[in-house]
Structure 1
Amino acid sequence: MSGSRSIIGTIVKNFIQSFKPRQLKGNFAGKDYFGNKYYEIPADPQRGRRKPSRWFEPLDKEEYCQELPAEWEAWLRGRRDFAPTEEELQKNLELMRMKKQNALLIAQEQAAATDKLDKTETLSRPTVPFPKYGEYENYPGEKT
């Protein structure tokens, strides 16, 4: 009998909680340098939501292939608990630009180095024909 009371009590409690207002709009979490906006509805264990709901609104809603910064993507997928700060985003953006610039300089240096090599000067290796061994057959049943 006491088990039925707890079931009825749970049903009544859940029925009453269903009338309480829920958060349908997300809290603004931030914006990235592409112009995407990020939102979150925090976790509410009392309502059965154990993980926060996170999403983003792209700048161009028609484009399906969006580029996201790594920090925001980690936040969206739940790999990090807190949204990235502006300082962190700026620092990583400067680091990304520096790496692109260094890669461009290295590519230019390599292109200049290959241009300096004389095209006529090649590594000369004597051409050696493929070895032929007497104990092996070239064709089945035929020895050379």
Structure 2
Amino acid sequence: MSNGEYRHVWRIVVRNFINSFRPRQISGNNMGKDYLGNVYFEIPADPQRGKRKPTRWYDPPKGQDFQDPIPAEWESWLRQRRTEPPTEEEIAKNVAIADLKKINAAKIEEKRLTDGGSLPTPVERGAQSFPTYSEYHTGDPSVNPKNKGN
């Protein structure tokens, strides 16, 4: 073998190592945006190349860094529980239902307090022991409780 015939393995390893630090330029289809400002993307499945499932992700708004929970509709789309992304009407309807539940809960709480109810008190639990039964022996295992008189 001459010098030019073999592959320069170390050169390939070093080049791949350096390239691993470069940010990847992934471009996906913009699928939508939620009311929190998260933008959702998808790279569709391509069975010809062996990719059976689409790749989905989201980018939070600047400064959020994935701190806020995402809406349930978008989470189910991200986890591929649904094939189509949620529509604006569906999201608006679910937000309206959530707001209505908050209003109804506040009304129920107000009614409970006006009827003489008090704030719920937390139940304090201390150290609890296991129950003891007379038919089970809990002492020295070498002593049989049935043969105490013998």
Q: Equivalent residue for 1:39?
A: 41
Q: Equivalent residue for 1:50?
A: 52
Identity of aligned pairs, percent?
Answer: 50
Structure with a larger share of its residues in helix: 1
Q: State the TM-score, normalized to the length of structure 1.
A: 0.60
1:87 corresponds, among 86, 89, 92, to 89
Structure 1, unpaired ranges of 5+: 1-22, 117-144
Structure 2, unpaired ranges of 5+: 1-24, 119-150
Superposition deviation, residue 35 in structure 1: 0.8
Q: Equivalent residue for 2:26?
A: 24
Superposition deviation, residue 70 in structure 1: 0.5
SS of the residue aligned with 1:114? Answer: coil
Superposition deviation, residue 115 in structure 1: 5.5
Superposed CA RMSD in Å reads 1.9
Q: State the TM-score, normalized to the length of structure 2.
A: 0.58
SS of the residue aligned with 2:32? Answer: strand
Relative distance call for 1:65 and 1:24 in structure 2 (3 A) is closer
Q: How many residue pairs end up in the alignment?
A: 94
Query: Which aligned segments of 4 or more residues in structure 1 are displaced greater than 6 angstroms?
Result: none
Q: Deviations over 1:39-75 (max 9, x none)?
A: 0000001111110000000114444432111100000
